[in-house]
């Protein structure tokens, strides 16, 4: 899904053929966050542009602008509705997976005229995510 150094840090149900609004995001410290029916209800803070990848087409990376802070309304595993605030890299991960639930890919967010680059070229940039 996201960084160039891992095999994925999140997955959305539609990516594996499950027609449900569910996603799982793994934080850098290994915590798995499960989101059911998630909706970004607010975004803010600064915006930065970092490379993202995707398990749907894992051989390229693209620079995507995203907000540093998002507020996500979602249902928990026990059926409660709550709002969770995600920041920085985890906000990027969550936004990426929530996008999948709405049929959007990271390439849809890239600036006009900018194309994804091969993963080999991305690795050559020496740029990794900043959490």
d(CA 1, CA 17): 16
pTM of the complete model: 0.86
What tens digit of pLDDT does each residue of 55-65 get?
888 789 999 99
Report H helices in 17-118. 88-101
**Beta carbons of 62 and 114 less than 8 angstroms apart:** yes
28 pLDDT band (50/70/90 cuts)?
A: confident
**Beta carbons of 2 and 129 less than 8 angstroms apart:** yes
Is 97 a residue of the active site?
yes
What tens digit of pLDDT does each residue of 71-119 get?
999 999 899 999 999 999 999 999 999 999 999 999 999 999 999 999 8
Among 45, 46, 41, 55, which residue's Cα sits nearest to residue 93? 55
Of the candidates 49, 87, 97, 120, the residue annotated as catalytic is: 97
Q: What is the mean pLDDT of residues 29-43?
A: 95
- Between the alpha carbon of residue 129 and those of residues 71, 74, 93, the distances in Å are 21, 25, 11
């Amino acid at each position: 899904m996201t960084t160039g150094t891992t095999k994925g840090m999140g997955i959305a149900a539609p990516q594996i053929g499950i027609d449900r609004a569910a996603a799982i995001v793994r934080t850098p410290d290994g915590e798995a966050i499960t989101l059911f029916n998630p909706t970004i209800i607010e975004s803010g803070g600064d915006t930065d542009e970092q490379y993202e990848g995707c398990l749907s087409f894992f051989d390229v990376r693209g620079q995507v602008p995203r907000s540093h802070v998002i507020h996500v309304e979602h249902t928990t595993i026990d059926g409660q509705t709550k709002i969770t605030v995600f920041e920085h890299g985890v906000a990027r991960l969550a936004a990426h997976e929530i996008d999948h639930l709405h049929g959007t890919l990271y390439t849809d967010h890239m600036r006009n005229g900018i194309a994804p680059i091969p993963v080999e070229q991305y690795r050559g940039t020496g740029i990794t995510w900043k959490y």
